[in-house]
């Protein structure tokens, strides 16, 4: 017989001569997962049964002309059945019959002894007293087993009602309905509980998958909110958030904070002349230049459509102006290279550099002043703003 492991999909051949008559467990030689030799005749999972069944498995290459059919998905109803005990209906029925007979046999023996052996030897005066005692003893011997029989019957009815209630409840939850093939309450309970456990595991796996997707989506949204999608620089929103933080830190530590604003003049005409991909390439190339020249000492941002901002903590205005000039010179070369060497027309770049002194009431106003200077700056020039008077 050929079987297929549900975990690794490997095909195995099982030797019938090595399989017990009531079935066996085994472990897949490939992934070592426990599998059943026969779903309909399965032994309880014990070390002896596993050791007995494991030699029956050996790899079998699937024939190309007769591929092995995939095994059906195991269902909770295919769980192993107990071999004995109260869980089997036949055992319970036999137990109740034996219990009733064992309760009647002592009574019958007592009656036989009383009427066949004791009664003939009694005198007429002794018979009434002994018969009264014997009657009470017989009633006690019948009453106690009867009460035990009623208690066991009540327990079985309660078990049947519990099984039916669980069946009705699980039928509303389980996606795959469980088919009970025999009137066996404990086996039915075991199958329903196994089904609920499998369903719970599926839901937990789905919940974990949804949680991972949610975390990934949250990370992507967080990254998109602070990063420009085209240039991969920090966004305008991130600039507004970090400007106040860096300004307060510089004022607290009494360290300089410089600002560089870069603007590509007539960017729309450039994109119209050379195409939108060329315009995007210019922005990407400029972002790479900014990263190269600023390094880890500055914070670059895409401020607008064709505007860039750079915060330089602990950098004086002279060093900031030198860095800005290097970026401007390299950007002019990038404009020509992206345009395939053609004349870029009026397209150029302007730059404004400012020092944000600690006494500023609103650093945003200095940012706008520096941006206006970049827009008015001559082609390829860096305009250094005079320090703004503070109180």
> What is the pLDDT at residue 1?
55
- Tell which wins on pLDDT, 272 or 192: 272
What's the average model confidence in pLDDT over 99-112?
80
Residue 327 pLDDT class (50, 70, 90 cuts): very high
Mean pLDDT throughout 226-233?
88
Distance CA 129, CA 206 (A): 79
Cα–Cα distance for residue pair 264/349, rounded to 1 Å: 4
Q: What is the mean pLDDT of residues 296-307?
A: 91
**pLDDT surpasses 90 at 310:** yes
Residue 42 has pLDDT above 50, yes or no: no
Is the model more confident about 195 or about 209?
Answer: 209
Percent of all residues in the chain with a pLDDT value above 90, rounded to a whole number = 19
List all residues 6 or more positions away from 235 whose beta carbon is below 8 Å from its beta carbon: 225, 226, 227, 228, 301, 302
Give tens-digit pLDDT for 120-172: 887 777 777 777 777 787 788 778 888 888 887 788 777 777 777 777 766 66
In the numeric block, which tokens belong to residue 184?
């066996």
Residues 6+ apart with CB under 8 A from 119: 127
- Angle at which helices 276-294 and 317-338 cross, to 10°: 150
Q: Say if residue 66's pLDDT is above 90.
A: no
Whether the predicted pLDDT of 261 surpasses 90: yes
| pTM tops 0.85 | no
* Domains in the chain: ranges and CATH: 2-74 (no CATH), 75-226 (no CATH), 236-384 (3.30.70.270)
For 199-214, what is the mean pLDDT?
88
Residue 302 is predicted with a pLDDT of: 93
At residue 51 the predicted structure's pLDDT band, cuts being 50, 70 and 90, is very low
In contact, 344 and 335? CB cutoff 8 Å: yes
How confident is the model over 171-190, as a mean pLDDT?
60
What does the pLDDT read at residue 185? 61
* pLDDT over 80 (residue 265): yes
At 379, list the tokens. 């082609």
Q: How confident is the model at residue 12 (pLDDT cuts 50, 70, 90)?
A: low
Across 43-57, 296-310, 362-376, least confident range? 43-57
* Mean confidence (pLDDT) of the chain: 75
């Amino acid at each position: 017989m050929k079987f297929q492991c549900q975990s690794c999909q490997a095909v195995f051949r099982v030797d019938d001569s090595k399989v017990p008559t009531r079935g066996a467990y085994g472990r897949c030689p490939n992934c070592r997962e426990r599998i059943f030799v026969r779903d309909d005749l399965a032994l309880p999972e014990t070390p002896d049964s596993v050791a007995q069944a494991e030699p029956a498995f050996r790899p079998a290459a699937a024939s190309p002309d007769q591929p092995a059919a995939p095994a059906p998905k195991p269902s909770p109803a295919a769980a192993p059945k107990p071999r004995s005990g109260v869980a089997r209906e036949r055992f319970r029925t036999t137990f109740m019959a034996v219990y009733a007979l064992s309760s009647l046999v002592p009574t019958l023996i007592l009656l036989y002894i009383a009427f066949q052996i004791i009664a003939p030897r009694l005198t007429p005066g002794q018979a009434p007293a002994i018969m009264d005692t014997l009657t009470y003893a017989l009633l006690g011997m019948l009453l106690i087993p009867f009460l035990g029989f009623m208690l066991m019957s009540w327990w079985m009815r309660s078990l049947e009602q519990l099984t039916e209630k669980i069946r009705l409840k699980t039928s509303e939850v389980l996606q795959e309905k469980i088919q009970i093939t025999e009137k066996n309450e404990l086996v039915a309970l075991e199958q329903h509980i196994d089904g609920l456990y499998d369903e719970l595991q599926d839901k937990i796996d789905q919940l974990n998958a949804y949680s991972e997707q949610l975390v990934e989506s949250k990370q992507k949204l967080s990254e998109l909110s602070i990063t420009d999608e085209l240039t991969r620089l920090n966004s305008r929103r991130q600039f507004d958030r970090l400007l106040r933080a860096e300004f307060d830190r510089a004022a607290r530590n009494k360290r300089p904070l410089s600002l560089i604003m870069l603007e590509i003049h007539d960017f729309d005409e450039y994109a119209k002349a050379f195409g939108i991909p060329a315009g995007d390439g210019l922005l990407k190339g400029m972002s790479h230049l900014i990263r190269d020249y600023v390094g880890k000492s500055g914070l670059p941002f895409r401020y607008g459509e064709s505007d860039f901002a750079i915060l330089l903590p602990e950098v004086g205005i002279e060093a900031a102006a030198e860095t800005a000039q290097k970026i401007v010179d390299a950007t002019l070369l990038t404009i020509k290279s992206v345009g395939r060497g053609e004349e870029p027309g009026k397209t150029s770049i302007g730059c404004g550099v400012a020092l944000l002194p600690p006494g500023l009431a609103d650093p945003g106003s200095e940012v706008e002043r520096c941006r206006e200077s970049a827009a008015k700056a001559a082609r390829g020039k860096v305009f250094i703003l005079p320090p703004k008077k503070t109180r």
